[in-house]
Structure 1
Amino acid sequence: MTSRTNTQESLTLAFEILKRIPRHRKITAPELHTQLQEIGIERSIRTIQRNLEMLSENFELDRDTRSKPYGYSWRKMSNGLSANYLTTQESLLLSLAEQYLKLILPTKILSSLESYFDEARYNLEHNPANTRAKSWRNKIRVVSETIPLLAPQMDPEVLSLISEALYEDRLITVEYYNAEHKRHTATVMPLGLAQQGVRLYLVCRFDGFDNERTLAIHRIKKVVVSTFNFKRPQDFTLEKYDTDGRFGFGEGDSCFIEFLITKKAGFHLLETPLSKDQIIEECEGHYKISATVIDSLQLERWIRGFGSDITLLSKIRDHNVCSTV
């Protein structure tokens, strides 16, 4: 049984190494060592080096010995490992995934996919048959509904540690500063990551509390990942946290609003309603609209953004009139 287990482990290691050897650049044993660690395979660098020596003798691998650490890649005319061959469609998908998901993919998964990202980029850039797929990336774009902002500076190590702890459900101790530039240190449960525009937020529970809070990743200056795991709260889902308007600076409370808005400013609400219960009455030069929405600072900013084009008639929260104009 032990011999069979050792053989399976050796084959698994060899296969994982082959999957990560690129075609169009060199990869070294230390790089492979890091990538394998990210997916939970713990082997010494010497073991990986021995495997690379063996694999280069039995597969169509180039071994660059001009400097240390040695670099390995598939030979130019080689078909490589069939599992490592990417079609045009797969190359395009991976290219878009790297572009739009790199901040919200777990760091371990992102690292383990690096050789595939490299392969996808090369396929799209250098294969004439992929010209149309390459041009597709320039034909689509996620656009902002507000004035475009530059992304805040984030510490890559901080994001990596938070991603690791979130993936493994481990407690973390964070040092951060708030909007008033006051520094704090706290132990928290990382519960979710959310990207809002150019900002990335950590949803978490502070030690000793039973409610969720949001921390801007760029304001976190230091992270220490605990060896202790935690049990995720059963009453929490990131989807509900979002639909409750918590990223819009609300507390999850609904309100019923009624307002007049000019037809020019409000036409888009006929196509994209505020809610499923939205009611629109057409008046001369205006629409009278009523809907149940999440009460939040974001709602207030949205209303103020229309200036003189909107007149708030009433806002009812918890069956009480909060404001009437």
Structure 2
Amino acid sequence: MARDTSSLQEAKMLLEVLKRIPLNRKISTTDLHQQLTAAGFELSRRTLQRYLKALSESDMGVQCDDKSKPFGYRRLLNSNDLDRVGLGADGALLLLLAREHLRYQMPPDLTNSLSYLFDAAENYMHTASGSSPEKRWLSKVRFVSGSLPLCPPMIRPSIFNKVSEGLFKQVKLDIVYFKSENEEEVQLRVSPLGLVQQDVRLYLVCCYEDTTQIRNLALHRIKKVELTSFIAEEPKGFDLQQYVDRSPFNYGNAQKVLLEMVFKNRQTALILRETPFNRMQKLEERRDGTFKLTVEVADTVLLTGWIEAWREKAGIISVKKTPIR
């Protein structure tokens, strides 16, 4: 019975290895071992090499590129691959949309562990008829920012990967950071607390060594990063969502105010009912046909910009801000 159990466990492990070998691109033994380790599987490199050799010499559709070292392995796709993983056209479409949305919001080790699904979905769309609804749908979905459109800054994949790994493993990071205020590079040791995406920018929320003061570091200004063996220190009671909610991210600790705004445009009232500032917002239509908005908000440049942008279209008559103590 013990032998049967051992054989079953080995078969399961072979399947885990197989599904992480990408389609039509190579992966090294080192990268594959890292993915398996991150997913919680205990497997030595020597055993993994033995499994890869067995898979590439069988009829499992695994090809080994041994022209140069390190060897690379890839899976050759056939028409039944999506059927094996239980995906249809709608699943392939959803996976490709999810991959783009999650690109900078999940640790690479986690998204890489799903690469076999992403590759299968991509191949499905590539081989689908040009007139298929799913293939055409990818060109019909876009994200439009409500702010002034800007090109995203360049973030080196190696930087993002190491920052994400440090955050995932909860260890301190040694970084070289470009400080824009005095235009110089500084060396810092930080405890990573979270990643926040604001429009096209991505920020590392962290604490400097020996301090609980929270900082926001732009990922595109990190020039070098190394993981340490020291456990990251998190300020007592820190919660990333609460930190972001305290005031609009990266605009300082703004004063809370009671905003009272009177305006004339009915369409603006509809928009504010559909997308309120918060759930405590009050909006009333007055006898003279005007509308009064009452809401507690942070008094930031974002709020000032919003009021000025809507002043003419909304027909704003008056704006009053009362500080909340």
The bucket for the TM-score relative to the shorter chain is 0.7 to 0.9
The answer to whether the aligner puts 1:150 opposite 2:157 as a matched pair is no
Match of 1:271 among 265, 270, 274: 274
Q: Are the structure 2 counterparts of residues 142 and 167 from structure 1 closer, same or farther at C-alpha, using a change threshold of 3 Å? A: same
Q: Which sections of structure 2, spanning at least 5 residues, go unmatched?
A: none
Number of aligned residue pairs: give it. Answer: 318
Indicate conservation of the 8 Å contact 1:250/1:294, yes or no: no
Equivalent residue, structure 2, for 1:210? 212
Deviates more, 1:59-68 or 1:247-256: 59-68
Q: Are the structure 2 counterparts of residues 129 and 70 from structure 1 closer, same or farther at C-alpha, using a change threshold of 3 Å? A: same
Structure 2 CA distance, aligned partners of 1:26 and 1:173?
31
Matches within 5 A, 1:103-114: 103-114=104-115
Structure 1 CA distance, aligned partners of 2:166 and 2:64?
37
Structure 2 CA distance, aligned partners of 1:75 and 1:292?
56
Letter in 1 for 2:300: S
Equivalent residue, structure 2, for 1:19? 19
Indicate conservation of the 8 Å contact 1:248/1:298, yes or no: no
Match of 2:298 among 294, 297, 301: 294
Matches within 5 A, 1:143-222: 143-183=144-184, 184-222=186-224
Indicate conservation of the 8 Å contact 2:175/2:226, yes or no: yes
TM-score (norm 1): 0.81
Deviates more, 1:139-148 or 1:165-174: 139-148
1:294 CA displacement: 2.0
The answer to whether the aligner puts 1:225 opposite 2:231 as a matched pair is no
Equivalent residue, structure 1, for 2:50? 50
Structure 2 CA distance, aligned partners of 1:30 and 1:48?
10
Structure 1 CA distance, aligned partners of 2:121 and 2:323?
52
Q: Which sections of structure 1, spanning at least 5 residues, go unmatched?
A: 320-325
Structure 2 CA distance, aligned partners of 1:246 and 1:207?
25
Letter in 2 for 1:220: I
Q: CA RMSD in A?
A: 3.5
Structure 2 CA distance, aligned partners of 1:62 and 1:211?
51
Letter in 2 for 1:48: L
1:193 CA displacement: 0.8
Structure 1 CA distance, aligned partners of 2:210 and 2:317?
44
TM-score (norm 2): 0.81
Indicate conservation of the 8 Å contact 1:259/1:288, yes or no: yes
Letter in 2 for 1:274: F
Structure 2 CA distance, aligned partners of 1:265 and 1:75?
53
Equivalent residue, structure 2, for 1:315? 321
Indicate conservation of the 8 Å contact 2:55/2:62, yes or no: no
Deviations, residues 264-295 of structure 1 (Å, cap 9, x unaligned): 78433243222323243447575332211123
Indicate conservation of the 8 Å contact 2:207/2:214, yes or no: yes
Indicate conservation of the 8 Å contact 2:247/2:254, yes or no: yes
1:299 CA displacement: 1.9
Indicate conservation of the 8 Å contact 2:81/2:120, yes or no: no
